[in-house]
Amino acid sequence: MHPEPHDRQDVARMRSAHHRARTSLDVRPHPGGHEAWGWHGRTLGRPVTTPDGPAWLRLAAAPLDQADSTFWNGSRDAKGAISETVPRPRLRTIHDWNEPPRRYRAELYDHIDEHPVATAPTLTTNPNLPTSWWTSLHTALGTIATIPTDRHTTDQQYLDWAMPRFLGPAVDTRTPSWSTAHGDLNWANLCAPQLTMLDWEGWGLAPTGYDAATLHSYSLLAPDVASHIRSEFADVLNTPAGRFAELAVITELLESTTGNPLEAWRLPLCGSGL
């Protein structure tokens, strides 16, 4: 989750659009329900009450002239492609509309009782997750990795551009192998005590081991957890493909945190040499 946007007009606009979505889908805000904002206020979710019981309504907004179908259709595509054995909230329905200069998508999900392990992507303390949780995560990532898709979480063109820029010109940018990934496996998108995986908008092909590498990077401020991840996912991380995936993830972290409020993460997560 991210902070509420600073721009009060953006906050009012998204809340108004969320209200419109609730009206269109015949749902009501759940009393006392909290708001969950996405990056730069691009999404807004909150619990709602439906005729069939509690649910979660997530609203996304994007400029009409910026059609990124990979992220826009991620949750919809996941519903049809990813096995129900992978634990995630069930997507009930989608409602789209345009309100120039933006388009909106409302996604209604089943309510879940589990809560995110952390309120931010990074982990700073050990949540002491049970062995069964880790086993479920390992199984889920193994299932996801085998799903055929033409979607991309990241691609070779990006890696060819970004890796030399942030890791130095000598780095080998050739991806050893590609597998399907969740694409945003951080601690705000993982729930416990029963594993539930949130936020499927960016799933797709990535360097093999990408999800494990991502979670490892977001756990470096909790060394016990980072060590556990290296052990749990040694089958992918301790391979040439897995080591490349870690370099790819570090590159993305460096690029995404340069020149914005997340830049403070760079030293603790990536090291003083970067």
For residues 48 and 27, the answer to whether their CB atoms sit within 8 Å is: yes
Q: Which of 77, 55, 35, 56 is nearest to 200 (CA)?
A: 77
Count of C-beta atoms within a 10 Å radius of residue 46 = 18
Q: Where are the domains of the chain?
A: 8-110, 115-270
What is the third-level CATH fold of 115-270?
A: Aminoglycoside 3'-phosphotransferase; Chain: A, domain 2 (3.90.1200)
Spatial distance between the Cα atoms of 102 and 6, rounded to a whole number of angstroms: 19
Count of C-beta atoms within a 10 Å radius of residue 235 = 12
Instruction: Specify the pLDDT at position 254.
Output: 95
Instruction: Specify the pLDDT at position 269.
Output: 55
Spatial distance between the Cα atoms of 157 and 137, rounded to a whole number of angstroms: 30
**Strand spans (E) along 169-253:** 178-181, 190-192, 196-197, 204-207
- Adjacent-strand bridge partners of 102: 63, 99
Which are the contacts of 182, defined by CB distance < 8 A and separation ≥ 6? Answer: 141, 144, 189, 197, 200, 202, 203, 211
Mean pLDDT per block of 10 residues along the chain (274 residues) reads 89 98 97 89 96 96 85 95 97 98 97 94 97 98 98 97 97 98 97 98 98 98 98 98 98 83 50 44
For residues 182 and 112, the answer to whether their CB atoms sit within 8 Å is: no
- Adjacent-strand bridge partners of 53: 50
Q: Which CATH number fits domain 8-110: 3.40.50.1970, 3.30.420.40, 3.30.1340.10, 3.30.200.20?
A: 3.30.200.20
Positive or negative, the CA dihedral 48, 50, 56, 62 is negative
Q: What residue has token string 């329905």?
A: 93
Instruction: Specify the pLDDT at position 262.
Output: 45
Q: Which contiguous run of DSSP H or E holds residue 13?
A: helix 8-25
